[in-house]
Chains A and B, each alone.
Chain A
Amino acid sequence: MWKTESVGVTRADTAVRQCLPPCQIKCPINEDIQRTNVLISLLPEDMDSAREGIIQISDYLYEKNPFFNICGYICGICELECNYKSKGGAIRRRLLKRFLSDVYTDHLKERGKFGISKNKEKVAVIGGGPGGLMCAYHLSKKGYNVTIFEASDRLGGALWLVPDYRLPKDVLQTTVENLVRIAGIDVKYNSRLGSEGLTLEKLEKEGFKAAFLATGLPYPRILTFEGKTVEGQDLSGVMYGHTYLYEVSHNNIRPDYFKGKKVIVTGGGNVAFDVARSVKRQGGDVIVICLECEDKDCKDGIPADEDEIRGAWEEGIRIIYSRGVREIVGQDGKFKRIDCPACISVFDEEGFNPKFDCTDCIDLEGDVLIITVGQAPDRPLLQKENLLNERGRLEVDHLTLQSSSVPWVFIGGDVRRVGFMIEAMGEGLMATESIDRYLRGVDMREGRRRDYEAYEIPVRRDYKPVPEVPWMPPEDRMHFQMFEKGFTLKEAIEEGKRCVTCGPCLSCKACVSIGFQKSLSPVEVDTATCSGCGHCVYVCNYGAARLVNRGDKVVSETDMFRCKSCGMCVVACPSEARKMVDEDIADTIAKVYASLS
C-alpha cells in the first residue's frame, strides 16, 4: 500500500497566474478535489486494506477542511462546474467525499490535537456555525487562543436545521465535537452577543485583540407583498420554516403531527424544500408555492437544488411555480387560505423586486401555512454594536471582511451575505487570514486578489457516463433516515477513475505524493532543432503545446501551467526537439538496458 508523503503537498498560492481545475475554483475554499479523486482511484479493492488509504486521503482533506465529512452529505457545489458535465454528467465528488466521510467520521476521535503552543493573541469568534468554527479552527492552527461565544447550547449553527434524511445528526455532532477538541478551542455556550452584558466592548476589555462575527441569520424573514408586510402571519396555523426546522431538530414535533392536514409551504429555496419534505414525512399533504419559475437556467429560476426538487416531486409534493402570496385569510383566528397572484418577474436590474399580475389569482386552502422565504439578521444588535452604516447595511470590506466602523472586528458568513455552508466556511478562512495579518500588523490586502483560470475538458477518445445514485423509492423513505445510498468502495474507485484530472499537476501532485514520480519533469523544447511542424500541438490532450513566432521562425513551446508531463509530445516529435528534463525514468531504462548484454 502506498503512503502519501509530505513532498506531494499541493500549492494553491498567490501566483500571478493561478490555474486550477474548475471544480476547485468553484469551491469557496479551493479544496484539493482532483488530488482526492486520483488517490481514491488508486485505493485497494478490499475494504480492510483500503481503510489505511482512505484515512490518509481524509487526513489531508481535514487539515484544510474540518467539515469535509459534512460536505460529503450536503455540499457538492464543485459538481456544478465539473467539466464532465458537458460529457454526460459531473464527477460525483460529493458522494466520493461522503464515501471518505463514512469511514473517517468514526476515525475522527483518534485524531490527535494540534501539536502547537498557543502563544498568540486572544481572538473571539462570535457564533459557532460553520463560518465561525472554520475561522476558530484555522486561527487555533496558527497558534491563536480562540474562544467561541455561541448563543445556543450546541455548535453547528444552521447545520442543525438540515433534516436528518440529508445529514445524520450523529455525523454533525461527531464533527463539531472533534473539531473543538482537536483545535483546542474554548467554547462559551449560551453566550449571546447583546444579552447579559456580553458586548464587543466587554470582549475588548477582556483582552480579545480581534473578533470574527458570524452570527448568521437567527430570525425568519417576514412575508411581504409589494413592500408591505402581509397581514395574518400571527394566525394560528401559520408558522415559519426556520422555526419549524428548529423544533424538528430538537425532536419537539410528533412524527405524525401533520397527519390529515393540508400544508402550504411558501418559498423556493433549499430550506423551503427541507420544510416541505419534513412535513411530508410527518404525515402532511404538502404544496410548495414559490415566486420563481420552473426553469432553473432562467434568471427567475427556482433556486432550490435539482435533487431537492426531484426528491420532493417523487415524494408527492406538488409545486406551484411563479406565484406569490398577497393575502393570508383566516377564520376564527385560524389560517384558512392564501390568495396567490401570478408572479411575472422576480429579479430586475436592482435585484430582488418581484412583479405580479393581480388579475391572475388563485386561492389555495390549507390547514397550515409555513413561510420559508429566507432569514434575517439580528439587526438591532448590529445597530447597537455600531456595525451598520447609515443605510442600515453592514459595512464590511469584501476582500478582508474587516468592519469599516470597528476595525478589530471581522464579519462573515450568512450575516454578511446568505449562502451555502461552504461559502460561510470560505469566509471563515478569509477572516483567519485577515485576523492574522491584522494582528501581525502587515498589509491587509497585498497579494490576496486571486484570478483563477480554469481548463477545458481534455481531449479523449471516449467519456464514461455518470453512475446512477440509488435512492430508496419514495414509499420507503417517509422517515428521517438517509435515503441516498453512498458509494461502495468499488464504485468510489470507478468514479475516482472517471475524473479526467483536467487541472494542472501543480495543484494536484497526487502522483508525486505517493512516489509515482519524484517530481513533475518539465518539457523543454530545443528551438534550434524544432521545425515548427506542430505534431506536438496535435498530440497534446491538454492544449499545453503550442506554436509561437520566434523571430522569423515558428517554433513550439510548452505552457507549463497546462503541461502534465505525460511525454506524448516528446514521443511524437519527429526532430527530437522535445525532451523531459530530469526525468528519473531515463535512468531506469539505461540501467535495465545496460544489464541486458
Chain B
Amino acid sequence: MSQYKPKVVCFSCKFSWGYLADEAYLSREIENWIPIICTGKIDTTHIMDAFEKGADGVLILGCPEGDCHYQDGNYEAKKRVYLLCRILESIGIEKERVKIELSSDPEGRRISKLVKEMKEELAKLGPWKGNVVAEKMPQKKEIKAGRGK
C-alpha cells in the first residue's frame, strides 16, 4: 500500500487562483492541473471521465462565494459536487474523492499544497474502486446533472 501514489486532477478557476503567477511555472509545479475560466463550466462528465481515465480524486478550486465573474458559476459547481458526492456514496464510493473549495489565491501558492493534502487523504482510501462498481452505475447521460435553481 505504501507504494500507492494517488493521482489528483485539479481544476481551478483563473479568476481567483494563480492569475498573478506564471501559468507555465505552475503547470510544472502542479501535476494534472487544469486552469479553467469558470468552475461552473466543469461538467459532472468531466469529473467522471477523470476517474475513468485513472484519477483517484478530483479537486475543484472556485472563486469565493459571491465573487464569480459569471455570477454564480462557483455556486453551481459546489451544488454539482454535492449532488455527485451523494450519488457516489450511494454506490459505495468515498465522497472524499471529489472536493471543492471556494476561496482565492492570486499567487497560486496554495494550489499544490491543497493537491498534496488531498493526495494524503486519498492514500488512506486506496485506489479508485469505481470501475469495479461501474456496472452498477447508471449510464453517463443519466448521471449528467442539469442545473436547477
Q: Which residues of A contact B (CB under 8 A)?
A: 1-2, 38, 42, 44-45, 49, 458-462, 464, 497, 500-501, 511, 514-517, 535, 538-539, 541, 564-568, 570-572, 574, 576, 585, 588-589, 592-597
Contacts and interface: CB of A to CB of B under 8 A. Distances in A.
B71 A585 contact: no
B144 interface: yes
A595 B41 contact: no
Interface string B44-67: 001001100111000000000011
Interface in B86-117: 106
B73 A568 contact: yes
Given A44-B20, A571-B42, A592-B33, A539 B70 contact: no
Given A1-B20, A500-B71, A595-B32, A568 B40 contact: yes
Contacts of B71: 458-461, 500, 541
Nearest to A585: B36
A464 B65 CA distance: 11
Main DSSP-derived SS at the B contact region = loop
A500 B70 CA distance: 8
B1 to A, nearest CB: 20
Contact of A535 (B14, B34, B141, B146): B146
Q: Which 5 A-B pairs have the closest CB atoms?
A: A596-B54, A567-B41, A566-B70, A541-B71, A593-B53
27 contacts: A2-B19, A38-B69, A42-B20, A49-B20, A461-B71, A461-B72, A464-B66, A500-B71, A501-B69, A516-B15, A535-B147, A541-B71, A566-B38, A566-B40, A567-B41, A568-B40, A570-B41, A574-B146, A585-B34, A585-B41, A588-B34, A592-B32, A592-B33, A593-B9, A593-B49, A596-B32, A597-B54
Contact of A596 (B14, B15, B38, B55): B55
B149 interface: yes
B146 A566 contact: no
A124 to B, nearest CB: 47
Given A1-B20, A568-B73, A497 B147 contact: no
Contacts of B66: 461-462, 464
Contacts of B32: 592, 595-596
Given A464-B66, A566-B73, A571-B42, A517 B37 contact: yes
A565 B36 CA distance: 12
Interface residues on B, range: 35 or more
Contact of A568 (B53, B55, B147): B147
B7 interface: yes
A38 B68 CA distance: 12
A517 B149 CA distance: 28
Nearest to A566: B70
A50 to B, nearest CB: 10
A597 B128 CA distance: 13
Nearest to A596: B54
Contacts of B40: 566-568, 571
A52 B19 CA distance: 15
B35 to A, nearest CB: 8
A484 B66 CA distance: 28
B52 to A, nearest CB: 9
Nearest to B51: A596
A592 B69 CA distance: 25
Contact of A516 (B7, B14, B34, B149): B14
Given A572-B146, A574-B146, A589-B46, A541 B72 contact: yes
B41 A571 contact: yes
Contacts of B7: 596
A213 to B, nearest CB: 45
A568 B38 CA distance: 9
A49 B21 CA distance: 12
Contact of B37 (A500, A516, A541): A516
A31 B72 CA distance: 27
B37 A511 contact: yes
A346 B43 CA distance: 60
A539 B79 CA distance: 14
Contact of A592 (B9, B38, B146): B9
Best-surrounded residue of A44, A45, A535, A567 (most CB of chain B within 10 A): A567
Contacts of B19: 2, 42, 514, 516
Contacts of B146: 535, 572, 574
Interface string B1-32: 00000010100001100011001000000001
A199 B101 CA distance: 71
Given A541-B70, A541-B71, A44 B106 contact: yes
Given A589-B46, A596-B53, A461 B147 contact: no
A567 B72 contact: no
Given A539-B147, A539-B149, A588-B35, 18 more contacts: A38-B69, A42-B19, A459-B71, A461-B66, A461-B72, A501-B69, A516-B37, A541-B72, A566-B73, A574-B146, A585-B41, A592-B9, A592-B32, A593-B50, A595-B32, A596-B7, A596-B50, A597-B53
Contacts of A2: 19-20
Contacts of A574: 141, 144, 146
A438 B76 CA distance: 54
B4 to A, nearest CB: 15
Nearest to B68: A460
Contacts of A596: 7, 9, 32, 50, 53-55
Nearest to B56: A596
A1 B40 CA distance: 25
A539 B145 CA distance: 13
Given A459-B71, A497-B67, A572 B147 contact: yes
Contacts of B72: 459-461, 541
Nearest to A461: B72
Nearest to B41: A567
Best-surrounded residue of B23, B42, B69, B144 (most CB of chain A within 10 A): B69
Given A44-B20, A516-B14, A568 B41 contact: yes
Nearest to B23: A515
Contact of B38 (A461, A514, A515, A567): A567
A500 B71 CA distance: 7
A42 B17 CA distance: 10
A592 B53 CA distance: 10
Contacts of A576: 141
A501 B69 CA distance: 8
Nearest to A586: B46
Best-surrounded residue of B7, B50, B71, B146 (most CB of chain A within 10 A): B71
Best-surrounded residue of A462, A566, A571, A574 (most CB of chain B within 10 A): A571
